[in-house]
């Protein structure tokens, strides 16, 4: 049994067979054959090795010609393995005696070599050799497979995915009936894949570090998305313990229902509003089921999942109408305009050119303002749908005053067009901006004059304030919503909305974290928007608090100097306030 620690991003536990996806998204195969097929499989392996060896010889030659013999020698070493008689004998023996396919045999033998190399310590040159072995395996597997197939499509049996990384679009297309959980070597707490795992209610752990190269796909694994653990080949006491946690999990799955219809109101009668963040129209049913009062953030960029072209106006419109129908035309629905780019579907954009720093590049509203047909198409659809419900429009990643003014100008033009075309639309739609870039928080006093509401996106606000990539596990320790600099910016925003009497919501992952609720309430925030699954718990916490206590907590927290001090203080307060709920 091996245990790895990572970052817990989506709660719950799962036990099941591993499906391993390496850095190239290649699936580590597991297939058995009948005894009659063994000679055929052995022939396949010989053919694949011969082709792979010939290809490697060519690569060796061309690299030697271009870069010198020294570099070509790397591929000479690959060939040595491909032609090594004991390697081939091991493969044949596995196929014959364990009746596994050629692909499985290659994967098992090479991954055993990798494991042995890695067990010899952290010697850099050995690590490189391990990477070479994986490269050789890839070449043989490609030969065996022929063309590559999408390993996540048409899964027959339920699996737990262990991957180098999962892109937001890969995560978005996971079928939660077939994927019990996932764990990735890379990723951060507020990466979009993590947010999607929550939306899909798939237990997940990210940032576990290098593990998959030493696995061969025959493992049984446990993912504990609550504690942030990945357990490979658990022993039987561990399996038993987790089976009972699973039973408990299933038993309590609907415990939250008791809070659903209660009002989000503090003990001293202060009304708080709770909204849900959604990514897909299909999630809309969860909004009311979980007791949210509407949609505080609809991330429309997920309309791009599984597509090769831009959604049409009609497709946008139908998606928004289905949310309105499901959530109800009397509940607020905040539709955020496309936040494409950075880690969200950059390669699907027709105008995409690779950027050195995509998170600081042509992302989000900047992209829309440079690609007006795409932007206008979406604005038209939102304005049309807004006639049928309490729809509001929100612009993401606004970093200057000029940007929000440009958005308003385009919106006015689009209204004009619709009017001239005689198409019915909502004329006085409420508009808002996300505050998720430090410059927007600093300029909140000015921005507040331009819009009807603000929504603080703490995921990006933390990322950009602390210069810490939200998707990078190597800096996950620096990514902290309680850093005094972040709280200082939130305070600026709260002051601006009070002065200008506009609405304020907080919609980053911070708003669904029970530990932060007392602090945020104490700072004056009265509207929260969180993943639907988090709503009942947040409501429960709100109902146990009173405002004077939260104000005292906020006052003390805001005097502290480091994120660690503030988090420890909040934890101590939590233990005092809710001694029964300390987990």
Residue 416 CB, shortest distance to ligand PEP, in Å, is 30
Q: What's the CA gap between 260 and 540, in Å, rounded?
A: 9
Side-chain half-sphere exposure of 88, counting CA atoms within 13 A: 17
Q: Which stretch binds ligand PEP (CB under 6 A): 83-91, 116-124, 233-241, 456-464?
A: 456-464
Which parts of 99-242 are beta strand (E)? 159-163, 179-184, 204-206, 220-224, 229-232
299 binds, among Mg ion, ligand PEP, none (CB under 5 to 8 A by kind): ligand PEP
Q: What's the CA gap between 150 and 152, in Å, rounded?
A: 6
Element (H, E) at 71: helix 69-82
HEC secondary structure over 200-218? HCCCEEECCCCCHHHCCCC
Which of 99/399 has CB closer to ligand PEP? 399
Q: Which stretch binds ligand PEP (CB under 6 A): 60-68, 114-122, 381-389, 452-460?
A: 452-460
- Applying CB under 5 A, does 512 fall inside the site for Mg ion? no
Terminal C-alpha separation, the chain: 26
Which of 117/497 has CB closer to ligand PEP? 497
Element (H, E) at 505: strand 503-506
For residue 174, the 8-state DSSP code is -
- In the set 368, 407, 415, 507, the catalytic residue is 507
Residue 337 CB, shortest distance to ligand PEP, in Å, is 12
Number of residues engaging ligand PEP in binding (CB under 6 A)? 11
Q: Which stretch binds Mg ion (CB under 5 A): 123-131, 203-211, 378-386, 451-459?
A: 451-459
Strand 273-278 to 527-530 pairing: parallel
Residues between 533 and 572 with contacts to ligand PEP, criterion CB under 6 A = none
Q: Which stretch binds Mg ion (CB under 5 A): 136-144, 211-219, 287-295, 431-439?
A: 431-439
Contact pick of 167, 458, 505, 567 for ligand PEP (by CB under 6 A): 458
Give the per-residue contact string, 338-377, with ligand PEP (x = CB under 6 A; - = no). Answer: -x--------------------------------------
- Applying CB under 6 A, does 436 fall inside the site for ligand PEP? yes
- CA-wise closest residue to 334 among 324, 344, 343: 324
Which parts of 108-198 are beta strand (E)? 159-163, 179-184
Place of tokens 């974290």: 513
- Applying CB under 5 A, does 341 fall inside the site for Mg ion? no
Q: What's the CA gap between 369 and 371, in Å, rounded?
A: 6
At 292, list the tokens. Answer: 């949210």
Burial class (CB in 10 A: 0-12, 13-18, 19+), 271: exposed
3-state secondary structure (DSSP) of residue 256 = coil
Q: Are the CB atoms for 222 and 235 separated by under 8 Å? A: no
Residue 207 CB, shortest distance to ligand PEP, in Å, is 17
Contact pick of 165, 185, 436, 473 for Mg ion (by CB under 5 A): 436
Residues between 294 and 323 with contacts to ligand PEP, criterion CB under 6 A = 297, 299
Burial class (CB in 10 A: 0-12, 13-18, 19+), 218: middle
Which of 462/496 has CB closer to ligand PEP? 462
Question: Does 192 participate in catalysis according to the annotation?
Answer: yes
141 binds, among Mg ion, ligand PEP, none (CB under 5 to 8 A by kind): none
At 546, list the tokens. Answer: 């009173």
507 binds, among Mg ion, ligand PEP, none (CB under 5 to 8 A by kind): ligand PEP
CA 274 to chain centre: 22
- Applying CB under 5 A, does 296 fall inside the site for Mg ion? no
Q: Are the CB atoms for 417 and 360 separated by under 8 Å? A: no
Contact pick of 22, 170, 185, 460 for ligand PEP (by CB under 6 A): 460
- In the set 78, 192, 259, 316, the catalytic residue is 192
- Applying CB under 5 A, does 460 fall inside the site for Mg ion? yes
Q: What's the CA gap between 51 and 61, in Å, rounded?
A: 15
Residue 238 CB, shortest distance to Mg ion, in Å, is 38
Which of 435/502 has CB closer to Mg ion? 435
Q: Which stretch binds ligand PEP (CB under 6 A): 36-44, 227-235, 265-273, 454-462?
A: 454-462
- Give me Rg for the CA atoms of the chain: 27
Q: Which stretch binds Mg ion (CB under 5 A): 28-36, 133-141, 452-460, 570-578?
A: 452-460
Q: Which residue of the chain is nearest ligand PEP when measured via CB?
A: 457
Phi, psi of 27 (to 5 degrees): -85, 135
Question: Does 407 participate in catalysis according to the annotation?
Answer: no
Contact pick of 457, 512, 532, 536 for Mg ion (by CB under 5 A): 457
Residue 503 CB, shortest distance to ligand PEP, in Å, is 16
Which of 457/524 has CB closer to Mg ion? 457
Which of 28/486 has CB closer to ligand PEP? 486
Burial class (CB in 10 A: 0-12, 13-18, 19+), 155: middle
- CA-wise closest residue to 496 among 456, 548, 552: 456
Q: Are the CB atoms for 471 and 171 separated by under 8 Å? A: no
- Applying CB under 6 A, does 508 fall inside the site for ligand PEP? yes
Q: What's the CA gap between 484 and 463, in Å, rounded?
A: 14
Give the per-residue contact string, 144-183, with ligand PEP (x = CB under 6 A; - = no). Answer: ----------------------------------------
- Applying CB under 6 A, does 507 fall inside the site for ligand PEP? yes
Residues between 204 and 243 with contacts to ligand PEP, criterion CB under 6 A = none
Residue 206 CB, shortest distance to ligand PEP, in Å, is 15
Phi, psi of 298 (to 5 degrees): -110, 110
Q: Are the CB atoms for 299 and 339 separated by under 8 Å? A: yes
Contact pick of 11, 228, 291, 457 for ligand PEP (by CB under 6 A): 457
Within 10 angstroms of residue 374's Cβ, the number of other Cβ atoms is 19
Catalytic positions: 192, 507
Q: Which residues bind ligand PEP (CB under 6 A)?
A: 195, 297, 299, 339, 436, 457-460, 507-508
Q: Which residues bind Mg ion (CB under 5 A)?
A: 436, 457, 460
């Amino acid at each position: 049994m091996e245990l790895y620690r990572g970052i817990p991003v989506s709660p719950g536990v799962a036990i099941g067979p591993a499906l391993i996806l390496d850095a190239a998204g290649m699936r580590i195969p597991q297939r058995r054959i009948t005894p009659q097929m063994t000679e055929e499989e052995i022939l396949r392996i010989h053919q694949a090795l011969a082709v792979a060896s010939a290809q490697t010889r060519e690569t060796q030659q061309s690299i030697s010609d271009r870069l010198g013999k020294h570099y070509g020698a790397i591929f000479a070493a690959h060939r040595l393995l491909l032609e090594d008689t004991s390697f081939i004998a091991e493969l044949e023996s596995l196929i014959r005696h364990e009746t596994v396919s050629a692909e499985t045999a290659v994967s098992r033998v090479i991954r055993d070599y990798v494991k042995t190399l890695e067990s010899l310590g952290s010697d850099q040159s050995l690590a490189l050799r391990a990477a070479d072995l994986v490269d050789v395996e890839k070449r043989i597997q490609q030969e065996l497979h022929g063309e590559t197939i999408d390993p996540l499509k048409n899964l027959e049996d339920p699996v737990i995915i262990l991957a180098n990384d999962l892109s937001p679009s890969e995560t978005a297309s996971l079928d939660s009936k077939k994927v019990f959980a996932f764990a990735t070597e890379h990723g951060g707490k507020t990466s979009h894949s993590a947010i999607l795992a929550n939306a899909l209610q798939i237990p997940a752990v990210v940032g576990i570090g290098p593990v998959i190269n030493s696995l061969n796909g025959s493992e049984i694994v446990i993912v504990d998305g609550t504690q942030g653990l990945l357990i490979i080949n658990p022993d039987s006491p561990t399996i038993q313990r987790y089976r009972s946690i699973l039973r408990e999990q299933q038993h309590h799955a609907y415990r939250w229902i008791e809070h659903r219809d209660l009002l989000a109101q503090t003990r001293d009668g202060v009304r708080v509003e709770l909204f849900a963040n959604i990514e897909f129209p299909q999630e809309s049913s969860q909004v009311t089921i979980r007791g949210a009062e509407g949609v505080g953030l609809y991330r429309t960029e997920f309309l791009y999942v599984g597509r090769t072209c831009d959604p049409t106006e009609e497709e946008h419109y139908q998606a928004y109408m289905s949310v309105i129908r499901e959530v109800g035309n009397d509940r607020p629905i905040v539709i955020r305009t496309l936040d494409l780019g950075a880690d969200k579907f950059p390669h699907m954009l027709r105008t995409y050119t690779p950027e050195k720093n995509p998170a600081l590049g042509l992302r989000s509203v900047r992209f829309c303002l440079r690609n007006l047909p795409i932007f206008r198409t979406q604005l038209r659809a939102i304005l049309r749908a807004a006639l049928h419900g309490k729809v509001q429009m929100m612009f993401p990643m606004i970093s200057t005053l000029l940007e929000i003014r440009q958005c308003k100008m385009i919106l006015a033009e689009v209204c004009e067009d619709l009017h001239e075309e005689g198409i019915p639309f909502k004329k006085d739609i409420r508009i808002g901006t996300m505050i998720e870039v430090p410059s927007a928080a600093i300029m909140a006093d000015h921005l507040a004059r331009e819009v009807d509401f603000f929504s603080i996106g703490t995921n990006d606000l933390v990322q950009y304030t602390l210069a810490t990539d939200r998707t990078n596990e190597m800096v996950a320790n620096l990514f902290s919503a309680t850093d005094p600099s972040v709280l200082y910016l939130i305070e600026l925003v709260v002051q601006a909305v009070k002065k200008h009497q506009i609405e304020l919501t907080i919609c980053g992952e911070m708003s669904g974290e029970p530990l932060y609720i007392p602090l945020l309430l104490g700072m004056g925030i009265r509207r929260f928007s969180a993943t639907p699954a988090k709503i009942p718990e947040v409501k429960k916490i709100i109902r146990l608090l009173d405002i004077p206590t939260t104000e005292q907590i906020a006052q003390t927290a805001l005097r502290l100097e480091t994120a660690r001090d503030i988090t420890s203080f909040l934890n101590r307060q939590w233990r005092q306030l809710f001694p029964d709920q300390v987990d």
